[in-house]
Chains A and B, each alone.
Chain A
Amino acid sequence: MAVLSKEEIGQEEVEKFYQFCKKSIDMEVASYLEACVRCGICAEACLFYMGENVSGRIDPTLTPAYKADLLREIYKENYTLLGRLKKLFGFGVKIKPEELKEQARLAFYTCTNCDRCTKACPMGIDTPRLVSIVRGALTHAGLTPKDLADATNLSVEKGSPLGVDTQTFLQRLEFISDEYEVNIPIDRKPSEYLYIPSSIELMKFPSSVASAAKVLNRAGVSWSMSTVAHEATNFGLFAQSREVTREMLRRVLQGAKDLGVKYIIAPECGHAYQSMRFIAPNVFPEEWDFEVLNIVELIDRMLTEGRLRLKGKVLKETATLHDSCQIGRRGGVLREPRRILKELAEDFRDSVLIPEHNICCGGGGGVLVIGDADYYRQKAFISKMTLFDKTKARTVVCYCANCMLALTKSSQELKRDYRFVSMVELVAEALEEET
């Protein structure tokens, strides 16, 4: 199952790439590939292109439409009459090994699957869907970027991309319980809710995990964490490896089944929510019988139902909201965080008029872990900064740990003084004041 990161690219890799692309075409994909009118509007929506542009350089290859162009060529020569004729007469697509390197740059370094271009495109073309196919094809050919491949393999071997195995998991939870004085049930049977953290939270933002536990305890639900399903993030989606995606989801399924839960609570992690809410039901159509909620969704629900009460606004300074693309624009949890933040912040200023228009952190889709993509991530952060600065807020509330990590990193690298805080943590803080 291991995802490879070959150095040498030969004809075999090219062939594998080609065949994967060819097989990935369905009605939806073909519609997108056919519909592009080459207007280039999507470029202005893409944070990578914008970031370069703001700093005075124009790199047209960062245009979303261009990122799918090789796939488009492959589609044409296999599915259209003219394309087939061209191929017959020897004018078909000839992929040179170096071109696959360029494809890796386009698909893995300069696209976070954020979906913003889809919203701006007059033809509604879902570029992230197309980029995912290119990623899948590269992974199939063994050409996943090294850093990403390593983290992906680690998640299969040890259970998490940060190498958190069950033992480390238990140790961390013990530490969190002690440090933050919170009760965390583990493998409690039966439970109604299963909360699965991401290892980024566990290792880098432990207070997020503690806060989620506090919230769940206060809401009075029967919940538990699981030693089987202890990682919510799914790196299989970053690498677009079906096997890894499936394996990571299988563990979640197993853990949830063992505890007999009805609800699975995804943490502050974009791809975790995406994989469990929208992908798992298709991977395990027979067995997946859970309602998946994001923790923010759950909090909003509990607040509306009156099962959680907040006392006062804990955030005094001017604050804005950063949306996680996979939970928000691609997950439909956009109104919830805004409702919650209005309860939490005295001066909440949204940086966008329409929540679906928010800009990605620049590190999603695995871009953050790929060292070679740092340059692009920093450039993307410049686009993000323009939105922050528009609101004049220095405090930014996030609901994805990966976003928070990426934003913090880019912000430090570019010497900015934004403060990033987790929404769940704020909620927990507001709860504490109640007693």
Chain B
Amino acid sequence: MTDVAFYDFVRGPLLRFALFVFFLGIAYRFFRVLFLGLPPDYAKPKGNPYLMAVKKIVIKPTMGWTFNEIFSRRAINFIGGFLFHLGFIGLTFFVPAHALLWKEITGIPFPVLPNIVSDILAYAALGSLIALTMHRALNPVLKLLTGKDEYFANFLIAMILFTGLLATRWAGGGSYIWLLSLHMFLADLLILYIPFSRLSHFVYYFLSVGFMGWNAGKRGVSF
């Protein structure tokens, strides 16, 4: 019964441990930056900094297209990035199997995506991840900026998507439980890895984009 024992382990204690580390780590990283504090600013703002900060946080991800010439040169970043994030969030929380798991853990019922939508999301996320990774490897600017961190993260996420698809769509049958366990094991690893890597950018998004909006409001510019 090793397969079931492993399955239970990755779905139970390991997942709980990973989540614990995740929240602790993320909170630590967030508050560590927050506690650095800010010097006071006595210059009279020209617009409304706070409103702008909130506005930017809400609409920034949809504003890439306004820089049309950058958008056209980096369509792969914008479209791939958008699809990937959409897929990643959609799949993580709203795929039937995942929604069930989150309900078990949090007690809150999660809305469930229809199968066809989760399939589209999964293929879109996997496809864009592969495209983005190739772009990283080939574009001279990205080559300079990319470290091992990015490749490891991309590989790990791709494997999670791949094993998820393998288990539920492509293989099935006898190896199902092993594939599923592997899928969950890798997901646990990812959850553990996030606070130690640049994948935790999602918390800093609120700070850095917030500051950008705050500055825009201070200077009275609208973009």
Contacts and interface: CB of A to CB of B under 8 A. Distances in A.
Contacts of A122: 60-61, 64, 81
A40 interface: yes
A354 B139 contact: no
Contacts, number: 152
Interface string A346-360: 000000011111000
A120 interface: yes
Interface string B200-223: 110011011111110100111111
B141 A30 contact: no
A37 B60 contact: no
Contacts of B11: none
Interface string A88-121: 0000000000000000000000000000001110
Contacts of A279: 43
Given A63-B141, A123-B208, A124-B212, A39 B67 contact: no
A389 B47 CA distance: 33
A35 interface: yes
Contacts of A38: 142, 145-147, 150, 198
Nearest to B25: A81
Contact of B211 (A126, A281, A285): A126
Contact of B208 (A25, A125, A329): A125
A34 B222 contact: no
Interface stretch (A41-49, A234-242, A408-416): A41-49
A82 interface: yes
A58 interface: yes
A27 interface: yes
B169 interface: no
B144 A281 contact: no
Nearest to A29: B36
A282 interface: yes
Contacts of B170: none
Interface residues of A, number: 56
A331 B219 contact: yes
Contacts of A27: 33-38, 207
B118 interface: no
B33 A31 contact: yes
A25 B35 CA distance: 11
Contacts of B147: 38
A119 B67 contact: yes
Nearest to B217: A332
B204 A31 contact: yes
Contacts of A120: 67, 70
Given A66-B144, A329-B221, A31 B207 contact: yes
Given A26-B37, A278-B43, A331-B219, A123 B201 contact: yes
A328 B220 CA distance: 10
B142 A40 contact: yes
Contacts of B208: 31-32, 34-35, 123-125
A263 to B, nearest CB: 13
Contacts of B44: 281
A60 interface: yes
B223 A28 contact: no
Interface in B18-35: 28-29, 32-35
A266 to B, nearest CB: 14
Contacts of B77: 39-41
B139 A332 contact: no
Contacts of B140: 58, 60
Contact of B36 (A30, A66, A332): A30
Contacts of B81: 39, 122
A105 B159 CA distance: 41
Given A34-B204, A277-B43, A356 B36 contact: no
A65 interface: yes
Nearest to A58: B140
A288 B193 CA distance: 49
Given A123-B205, A356-B222, A31 B211 contact: yes
A71 to B, nearest CB: 15
A281 B33 contact: no
A296 to B, nearest CB: 14
Given A60-B145, A63-B144, 6 more contacts: A35-B205, A39-B142, A124-B56, A282-B41, A353-B66, A357-B67
10 contacts: A31-B207, A41-B70, A58-B140, A82-B196, A120-B67, A120-B70, A277-B43, A278-B219, A354-B223, A356-B221
Report, nearest first, the 9 A-B pairs whose CB atoms are least far apart: A124-B212, A332-B220, A31-B207, A356-B223, A35-B204, A35-B208, A124-B209, A60-B144, A40-B141
